[in-house]
Amino acid sequence: MSRVTINDIARRAGVSKGAVSYALNGRPGVSEETRHKILDVAQELGWAPNRTARMLSGSRTETFGLVLARDPRTLGSEPFYMEFVAGLQSELSRRGYALLLQLTPTAENELELYPRWWSERRVDAVVVVDIRVSDPRVAALGELGVPAVFVGDPAMTGGFTTVWTDDATAMASAVRRLVELGHRRFGRVAGTPGLSHTRVRDLAFTQAVAAEGLTGTILHADFSDVAGGRATRELWDHPEPPTAIVYDNDLMAIAGLSALSELGISVPHDVSLLAWDDSALCTITHPKLSAMHHDVMAFGAHVGRRLFDLLVGAEPAAHLDSTPVLVERESTAPAPR
């Protein structure tokens, strides 16, 4: 099938290769009349561009890269990534761009990947997620000169284009609402400590709690169900356990809910739980989880648009995505007295 090349079109239309190229790409250099004839012939022959050939001369690959460096099992049960990818895709596919997705178990693998992708000309730009504090990828990508959009705290992304959410404000509003509900002792089950957004939320949490003159305990986990359950139990083991716990993702919140219910502790009667991201998982538990809602698909789409900006030479900038907003369901309630 479809072994039609522009040479065939040129021959058939009685013009040169170059003219065909101009015509098909809608650029000046041919008359309207000739252009039409060429387009007709192309249509008739069922021509489709050979992407590979186009890449070779154009040196654009029309592909963006994304590396997810996490344990695959966590990755699977963590809805964030799939939704993010779906949103990203929605922008890419409408412009014929493809996503090169690589899952690697470790962060070291990821660092090896970028030089390879770049020297092999496999991608035009990359998306970098899970930004860590003093992330080596900033320097690595900067050195290679790979166009990139970072997803995370702009303070950590060294001048790269960055899309971020104002987690500090979101966290402050979450704590404020819980205080309103009468809570005085707070717990936070945080994600991996090295991650920049974990840090941002840690700080915001500490400040928000301190601002009210209250106490808060932070335990770090790794976003996994197991760690989330463990941290929750540990919080409960305190002599004065918190009456409200804020989680860094949905999965840990569900695990926490499960752990508490195993201990015979009632949510939200004894303790309020607040998840983060608000995926479909939040509504399948009993009680349904209140959560800091964030439209992850829209977030992904936003990142996609910034990738294209990059290609047309946009200046690096920090772009603020929508701020997570509290959706109250059944897992938050007035503090027990």
Partner DNA sequence: CCGTATCGCAAAACCGGTTCAGTCGCTAGT
Partner DNA sequence: ACTAGCGACTGAACCGGTTTTGCGATACGG
Task: Indicate the residue type of 11.
Answer: R
Task: Pull the structure tokens for residue 264.
Answer: 């015979």
- Contact status, residue 99 vs residue 89, Cβ threshold 8 Å: yes
C-alpha distance from residue 8 to each of 15, 32, 147 (Å):
10, 20, 36
How many CB atoms within 10 Å of residue 154? 20
Structure tokens at 126: 């990359």
State the minimum distance, in angstroms, from the CB of residue 2 to a copy of itself. 4
Q: What number of chain residues touch DNA (CB under 7 A)?
A: 33
Stretch of residues binding DNA (CB under 7 A), selected from 27-35, 87-95, 177-185, 301-309: 27-35
CB 193 within 8 A of CB 220: yes
Residue 209 amino acid letter: V
Question: What residues from 208 to 237 belong to the interface with a copy of itself (CB under 8 A)?
Answer: 224-226, 228-229
Measured from the CB atom, is 117 or 205 closer to a copy of itself? 117
| Residue 179 C-beta: closest distance to a copy of itself, Å | 29
| 115 is a site residue for DNA (CB under 7 A) | no
Q: How far apart are CA 249 and CA 243, in angstroms?
A: 19
Contact string 126-145 vs a copy of itself (x = CB under 8 A): ------------------xx
How far is residue 149's CA from residue 269's CA, in Å, rounded to a whole number? 43
Interface region with a copy of itself, contact rule CB under 8 A, candidates 92-100, 180-188, 207-215, 308-316:
92-100
Residue 271 interaction partner, one of a copy of itself, DNA, none, beta carbon < 5-8 Å per kind: none
Span near DNA by CB under 7 A; candidates 23-31, 101-109, 266-274, 302-310:
23-31
Tokens 């990738």 label which residue? 307
Q: How many helices (H) and strands (E) does the chain have?
A: 13, 12
Tell me the CA distances in angstroms from 137 to 161, 210, 285, one per residue in order. Answer: 14, 34, 37
The nearest distance, CB 194 to DNA, in angstroms, is: 37
Q: Which of a copy of itself, DNA, none interacts with 206 (beta carbon under 5 to 8 A by kind)?
A: none
Give the dihedral sign, CA 209/210/213/219: positive
Q: Which of 5, 34, 77, 323 binds a copy of itself (CB under 8 A)?
A: 77
* Structural tokens at position 45: 């022959």
Q: With binding defined as CB under 7 A, does residue 33 bind DNA? A: yes
Q: Which does 161 bind (CB under 5 to 8 A by kind): a copy of itself, DNA, none?
A: none
Sole binder of DNA in the list 49, 182, 194, 334 (CB under 7 A): 49
Q: Helix 107-119 crosses helix 136-144 at what angle (to 10 degrees)?
A: 10
Q: How far is CA 270 from CA 28, 104, 130, 241, in A?
A: 72, 40, 34, 10
Task: Examine residue 287 and say whether the peptide bond preceding it is cis (omega within 30 degrees of 0).
Answer: yes
Of residues 56-85, which lie at the interface with DNA (CB under 7 A)?
56-59
List the one residue from 11, 12, 51, 305 that touches a copy of itself (CB under 8 A).
Answer: 51
- Give whichever of 204 and 252 is closer to a copy of itself, judged by the CB atom: 252
Where on the chain is the footprint of a copy of itself (CB under 8 A)? 1-2, 48-53, 55-56, 61, 72-83, 85-87, 89-90, 93, 98-104, 115-116, 118-122, 144-145, 224-226, 228-229, 251, 254-255, 257-259, 261-262, 279-281, 283-286, 296-297
The residue ranges that bind DNA (CB under 7 A) are 3-7, 14-22, 24-25, 28-35, 47, 49-50, 53-54, 56-59
